[in-house]
Amino acid sequence: MTAAAFRLAAIIATSATAFAWIKWLGVAYLAWIGLQLILSKGGAQNTKAAQNSAARLYRQGFLTSMANPFAVVFFGALFPQFIDPSAPVLPQLAILGATYLMVDGTILMLWGWLGTRAAGALRGSRFGLVNKLCGGLMLAGAALLAFKDMRPTR
């Protein structure tokens, strides 16, 4: 949200080179995650995730979010619609950001709770199958992103 507020969205939208670099870094990242999931052992990911500290998991989530150019473009497109240019911008951004974080935080907490419940049912070979399926989906996503034409349509 902060990056969008400071016009990073405009830079990405106007610089084809910057957007292309971000796109190909995203392709490489998705492919790397997909391969890791496909090559992982059955329950190894589950125990590894359980051993991570809350700070480490937060840091991973933060870095993943910061590396997502579409999130920057999303906030860059969403926020200006709700900002009154005649009023101070910073308080408006604070209210919009806090509102978004409360709604998104609630949704993410729900997903986390559901994921924890589902993880209990996915032990052993079923967990390995889910890893392989998700890895394949990540590779498919990387391929779709790689072949997607990012030029604006008119």
Q: Domain coordinates of the chain in residue numbers?
A: 2-59+70-147
Q: Which of 54, 55, 33, 63 shows the shortest CA–CA distance to 45?
A: 33
For residue 23, the model assigns a pLDDT of 81
Q: Is the pLDDT of residue 140 over 50?
A: yes
Q: Are 38 and 132 in contact (CB under 8 A)?
A: yes
pLDDT at 44 over 50: no
Which carries the bigger pLDDT value, residue 17 or residue 126?
17
Q: Cβ neighbours of residue 72 under 8 Å, at least 6 residues apart?
A: 3, 4, 8, 9, 12
With cut-offs at 50, 70 and 90, classify the pLDDT of residue 45.
very low
Q: What is the pTM of this model?
A: 0.54
Mean pLDDT of the chain: 79
Give CA separation, 40 vs 10, 29, 132, 140, 154, in Å. 39, 16, 8, 18, 44
3-state secondary structure 47-81: HHHHHCCHHHHHHHHHHHHHCCHHHHHHHHHHHHH
Of the given ranges (22-26, 43-47, 105-109), which has the lowest mean pLDDT?
43-47
pLDDT tens for 61-87 read 777 777 676 677 777 778 888 888 899
CA nearest to 3, candidates 60, 100, 76: 76
Of 112, 109, 107, 3, whose CA–CA distance to 65 is shortest?
Answer: 3
Q: Under the phi-then-psi rule, with left for phi > 0, alpha for psi from -120 to 50, and beta for the rest, what region is 150?
A: alpha
Q: Which residue's structure tokens are 């779709």?
A: 144
